[in-house]
Amino acid sequence: MEKTTSDSFVHWSNMDDLVKYAEEKPAEVSRLWSQLYDEFISVSDKIERFRKKRKLFNKEIALDALPFGTY
């Protein structure tokens, strides 16, 4: 699959990082993913929880707020 950023809001590397994370820790990613849609948690808290957990998984992951709009 060719990796390109044209016509995309999220850089392909962010999506690749998410796939790798989900493959390594499916239950954790599932829980975090579900929390993104929890209306009782503030948007900023949802994003921050996801970022913190991903950073624990891989400190090299660069994750800005943009992918969350896509997710």
43-68 burial, b at 16+ Cβ within 10 Å, e below that, comes to: eeebbeebbebbeebeeebebeeebe
Model confidence pLDDT, tens digit, residues 35-65 = 888 999 998 898 888 888 888 888 877 666 6
Model confidence pLDDT, tens digit, residues 19-37 = 888 899 999 989 988 888 8
Q: How many whole angstroms from its chain centre is CA 5? A: 17
The C-alpha atoms of residue 71 and residue 65 are separated, in whole angstroms, by 10
